[in-house]
Each structure stands twice: as structure tokens, then as C-alpha cells.
Amino acid sequence: MNDVTHLNAVRVGQVIAPRTVSEIQQALRDTEGRVSIGGGRYSQGGQTAYPDSLHIDMRNFNKVLSLDVQNKQVSVQSGISWRQLQAEIDPHNLSVKIMQTYANFTVGGSLSVNVHGRYIGEGPLVGSVLGLKLVLADGSIVSASPTENADIFYGAIGGYGGLGVIVEATLQLEDNVPVERRTRVMPVEDYAKYFREAVRDNNDVVFHNADIYPPDFTALRDVSWYASDKPVTEVERLIAKDQDYRIEVALEKFVAGSDFGKWTRQYLIDPILYYPAKVVWRNHEASYDVAELEPEDRSQYTYGLREYFVPVDRFDEFVPKMRDIFQRYKANIINVSVRHAKADTNTLLSWARSEVFAFVVYYRQGTDAAAKDAVGAWSSEMIDAAIEAGGAYYLPYQLQASTEQFKAAYPQANDFFGLKWRLDPNNRFVNMLWAKYYPFNTDLMAATRDDIGEYYRPVEQTLLTIPEWYLVFQPKEYADYLADGGDPSRFPFLASIDEYWALYDRVMSLSAENYPANSEYRTMLRVIGVSTTLEYLAKGAYEASLGRLSRWSADGEDTAEDKLIQQAHRAYSQLIYDEPWYEFDFAGWRNRIWSDTPLWGEHAFRKWERKLFFSAEFGLKSLYAKLIKYAAQSTYGETDKRIYLTAQRVQSNSIRLPKEPEGSEVVATGGDDYIMSVPRWGGFTEILPKFSISEWTISDISGNHQIAVSLLVDKDADVSSLGAQELFRSSLVSKEQRARVILMVAVADLAQLIVDVQGAGFELEHIYDY
């Protein structure tokens, strides 16, 4: 599962897409583990997923259950999107009372985060909810409203799926009326007074927001929509689905690309955009599609939201602090939209304990770790500024706030946690938000992991290392080919080149769909791919010409030089499983072909051709290896040959304490967790099976909960019975009847997979250690 930013990939264990309440109840009763709940997946920090959980995808759970036109009330299944609901109620000239700006979200998702919109005179979504129904962890159903099970009602709304599955909601509706747009530009310091006098208590204002223009943050544009009796200028009652937004996306990219783009938006684009008179139906203005914000590609950069809530009387205090933070960090802010919300004093995780302005920050960031850290830095200061002003920050975004900041912004969190403990004692409903902040998910070893500089590794590298490791497997395949009597002049070097780039393309595609770009690693793969391509082209061309001629002259027989070369390639293929390739003694083997083989003898042409060719090849590689070793150590220092994981002892009746597998070292312990270090590279694949036959279970490797594995099997072998997802497979270039199968498996299931692979007679080739 991922969210709209593509920054928070989480591999869940199973996905169900229920259409009935009974399906949800049965799924909960038939399982015992963690459960995560997702709708439109527009939260941006893993709030809809948890590793290896049963994931309930609610988007097919989308019916209107009843519509009371006279009383303006509707009951819906929680997986319905607001746009689907609007299509049902618009013919009755009814409109949603409170919702967010974009209509793609599901009702259940909006309830879970307690959204707000641009509605003047309203507050968070809870203000329009008459009642709801939840399925609890044991499969039972509970009804809740402001007067029935009120604690559950005010806990579930804004509870981020922590209490149960919201399956039904009854909402208060409003009349659908024409609204007229009016705009006004003003200095930021004039806004608070203007809003108080002209907007706050104006019953004609339906929608309102004020856009603060970056990068100066000194001017803003009030965009208000007033109830009107004028004829509409747009005949469509709802924004049509599946519109083409290429122009909007291109303009967004232009604005985000530079300060000039932002200046152009403020002084040219927006004046043109807002110049025409516009009167539309309320439903039309409430049916925006997030597709207008969706870039063509999110691999190198992505767009995100942050939101900060400040009491209305602290506006003038907060804005200068916000301006200073954004400018000091040179944050690429595209827009800051100011909204208004009435106080919500009832929900347990209320973000509006008083009347507030909401500062909705829309920004662009890179997808690499450094960019995430940079955003986290300015966001942390923004949170502190909001808290100092008596406000809060919003929880549906990246989870970079500290526990202390969370507690300060949500002082009633302990009441919510107490309610969760009562309704969900086994802590089944979990996502990445509650994994971080729910006390019973507190990780005793978190600080220790942070102190180990090499503990965490990017999860996408388990995929990105696949083509890199092919450059380890290929020399072994070549050495095996030679050992089996293969003719080196007929080895498929061109097919090896094709295989590398095929693997590269496949992992790039898979990675782009689910993970950040990791541009540095991608660049490295392209560099080594190009250098390997050139090497194999040259070697293949030589072997197919002069090498084939000399082989023919020797009647296809191996000379002493052929045999030594076979030994050299075997030694190289063995070393690179555990050491960087540049550590191989190329010069030593080059010298041996002259010292260990006679200068003259049978098949002299072949002997001298092999001596000269091998000397040239390994001589050049010796020089190149020294250069690369120097560059690598200058840039990265000494290579860390250990990788870290967290394991737990399996409970057994044995009175002895299990010893850690040979080759592993216990670094730290806390509670039930043991942080261990194990060898990297080839040693990693050797030691992991030892865990599968010992009294240990692994919960994460390098902070990750999924890992790629490759098997060597017969070409048409069926691996579907293994507890892993097959990503792709390809034939070995020298043995087309054999195939390499790449699987993705949950770390928690890795031990069982290893046992099943052995039982099925497959060969475990490699476990890709990031």
C-alpha cells in the first residue's frame, strides 16, 4: 500500500475489499493479527496501512443506504466517496454540509481524520454527523451518536481507524444553492481584521479561503463564494469526472519550479483566472477532483500537504514566524491556504479546541532521504510555532512530529488511548500513525536503533540491488559454464547484457510504483550497467573472433592457460559474494598465467592467445580496481560489512535459552527485542536460514518489513504455494531450462519461506539485503 505522495510504501499481509458488513465481521473473527483500514489513501504518512496486517480496502463498500429528502439526511456506507454521494443527492437539490475541498475522499476516511473545508460558520466534519456504526475488533457492531455511546462517537471521529471499522454514517445535508465568487487582494497584516468584520458573521458567505502568496508571504487573496440569486455561469451542476487536467498540472509544475513561477502566478495567472464573474452551484464548487494536482511522475519529486491550526486571535503572531521558517529553510511552498473553523470541544483528538484559522501548506519536495529530512526540519519548527500560539498540527500527513509535539498538540490523547484499550484490548487496529504514538506500541529499542548509524536502510534497495547482484551471479554462471567444459568463445555475453538491463527496467518499474526514487542508487546502477555493457561487448566480440579461432586451432581442447583462467574466474566469483569486487587480486592472477603455465607446448597459438588476452583483461581490471577502491574509500570510508535486524526468542518448553545463530552478534536488548548484527552480502544469505531452524524469529531487517528473495528453479516450476509474491522470472543465459524467480516476502514470513523452499526442492539463490 502507498499513499498519494508515493513516500510511504507499506507491505500488508492480505487485502480484502468487502461489500457487506458481514464480510468485515467474518474477516475480523477469522483472524487474530493486526488490521489496517484504507479508503481513498489520501493521508500521507501511512495512516491507512501497517506491515503484514489484514488490510480492509473500503472502496467497494459504497452504497447509499437511505435518503430523507424532507429532513435533509442521508445514511451511507463508509467507503462511498463524496463525489459518489454528491451524484446521488444533487438531483434532489441537496448538498453536503461539511466536507474537504476535494471530493475523491471516502466518507469513512474523512470521518477518521475529522476533516474540515472552506465552509464559513462551520467547523470540523463532526458537526454534520448525526450518528455512525462501527465494527469492533471482536466483530460486534456498536451504534454511536452525540447521545448514544457518545465516547465512542467522539473517539471514532478523528480516531484514524484506531477503535474499529466505521461502516455506516448518517449525515445532515444542506440545500444546494447558486454561489457567486468574489475575490480581493490585500496585505497579510490586514486579513485578520477584514475577516472578522466582513466574512466571519456574514450569513451569505458559503465558502471562504485566503491564499497567501509565496515566497514573500506578505500578500493574500480572499476567495469567497456568496449565496446568490444570479443565473449560474456554469450549467454543469457537478464538475465532470475524468476531465483532462494537463494544463493545470503543467501550471502547477511551472509555479513550483522557481520564484519566477510563483511571481507569475501571483501577478499574471491568478488575476486572469479570477477576473471573470463566476456563479456556480454549491455542489459544483464542492466537487473538485485531485487529478488537477496529480503530476505525471512522482519518482524525483512529489507534492505534499501540511496543516497547522492557530487560534484566530493569534493570526498576526503566527504569520511572521511562518514566513521566517519557510524563507530560512528555502522551503518550496506553492501555496498557503487559510481556512476558518469553529471550535470542536468534543472529539478526543480535536485539532480545534478553540475557534481557529487553518494554515493548509501545499509544497513540493524531493523523494530522497535528505529531502524528507529537510521537510521534517521546517515542519517541526512550524509545529512548535503553532503549539506556542495555543494551536495544533494535523495528523494525516508525514509522521515526523515527535511524541512530545503530539502530546502537546493533542492533550486528550490519553483519553483516546484509554478508550482504545477498552474497545480494542488486543491492539488489533493499527497503522503507522498509531504504531508511533499509541503507548502500547512504544518501541523500547527505537532510540538504540537510531544510535546505530547503519541500522536503517531504504526499503527500495532490496529491489534496486537485484541488477547489481546480477553482476555477482553472472561471473558464477560463467565460472560454472567453464567448469562444465563450455567454450568461452560461445558464452552468451550479449544475452548477459540484455539480462542486466531487463532486470534494471523491471526493478525501476516496480520501485517507481511503490517507493521514492533513490536517485543516487539509480545513478550507480546506470554507471555500472554502462561499464559492464562495454566490457561484455568488447569481451564478446574478441571471444567470437580471435578467441574462437584459437579455440579451433586447439581442436576445442583446454590448455593449461584455459584451466588457470577457469580457476581465476571461480576465485573471482567466490570473492565477490562477500567482498567488493575491487578487492580481488587481479594482478596476482595475471602474474600466475606467466609463472604457473609453460611458455611453450602443444597448441602454442591457443596458449599465447590466452596468455595475452587474460593479461590484458586482468591488467586493465587491476588498474581500474585500484582507482575505484580509492574513490569508494575516499567517498564512503571503510565499508560496513554488517547489517542489523531485530529478533525475538520463540517461546518454547525448553529450559535452556536459545543461542544466537553462529555468525550473528547481539548488539542490544530491550523487552522482548534483541538487536543483532549479521554479515552482509553473501554471508547474509548464508546466515538467514540458520534463524529458520533456531528458536528465533525476525521482526524487521534494517527497519524494513519486506525483503526480496531469488530462487533458481526449473523454467516452468510453480512457486505459487510459497508464502510470497512472485515479482518476475527470467531464464539463465547459459541454461535456458533453468530460471531465476524473484519473490517479495514479509520479513516475518521469511523463515517459513526458507523452510518451504527447501521442502519443495528449489534452490535459494539470494536474499537481497538492501
Tell how strand 35-38 and strand 54-57 pair up. Answer: parallel
Q: Which residue has the higher pLDDT, 527 or 171?
A: 171
User: Is the pLDDT reported for residue 553 higher than 60?
Assistant: yes
Residue 757 clears pLDDT 80, i.e. is over it: yes
pLDDT of amino acid 372:
87
Average pLDDT of 353-363? 97
Q: Are 404 and 319 in contact (CB under 8 A)?
A: no
Closest to 399 (Cα-Cα) out of 516, 306, 308, 511: 306
Q: Quickly tell me which residue has 435533509 as its cell.
A: 72
Please give the C-alpha separations between residue 247 and each of 239, 320, 501, 626, in angstroms, as whole numbers: 16, 33, 35, 52
- The stretch 601-607 carries a mean pLDDT of 93
Half-sphere exposure of 453 (CA within 13 A, CB side): 2
pTM for the model stands at 0.72
- Predicted pLDDT at 653: 44
Rounded Cα distance, 563 and 568, in Å: 9
Looking at residue 48, its pLDDT comes to 93
Mean pLDDT (whole number) for 719-745: 93
Q: To the nearest whole percent, how much of the chain has pLDDT over 70?
A: 98
Task: Check whether 652 has a pLDDT greater than 50.
Answer: no
d(CA 468, CA 115): 45
Burial of 520 (0-12, 13-18, 19+ CB in 10 A): exposed
Evaluate if residue 655 carries a pLDDT over 70.
no
DSSP tag of 122? -
pLDDT in tens, 692-709: 777 788 989 999 989 999
Q: For position 632, what pLDDT does the model report?
A: 74
d(CA 75, CA 172): 9
**Least confidently predicted of 278-282, 496-500, 631-635, 736-740:** 631-635
The pLDDT of residue 670 is above 80: no
Task: State how far the Cα of 233 lies from the Cα of 236, in Å rounded to an integer.
Answer: 9
Model confidence pLDDT, tens digit, residues 68-95: 999 999 999 999 999 999 999 999 999 9
- Residue 657 clears pLDDT 70, i.e. is over it: no
Least confident of 55-69, 98-112, 133-147, 617-631: 617-631
Strands 73-77 and 64-68: antiparallel
Say yes or no to pLDDT of 656 above 60.
no
User: What's the rounded mean pLDDT across residues 368-397?
Assistant: 93
Tell me the DSSP string of 406-428. Answer: HHHH-TTHHHHHHHHHHH-TT--
DSSP helix/strand/coil, 170: strand
Other beta carbons less than 10 A from residue 425's beta carbon: 11
pLDDT number for residue 84: 97
pLDDT in tens, 263-309: 999 999 999 999 999 999 999 999 999 999 988 888 888 999 999 99
**Span 10-50, pLDDT tens digits:** 878 889 999 999 999 999 999 888 999 999 989 988 899 98
Computed over every residue of the chain, the mean pLDDT equals 92
Q: Is the pLDDT of residue 532 over 60?
A: yes
pLDDT of residue 444: 63
pLDDT at 102 over 80: yes
Please check the confidence at residue 447 and state whether its pLDDT lies above 80.
no
Residue 654 is predicted with a pLDDT of 44
Q: Check pLDDT > 90 for residue 517.
A: no
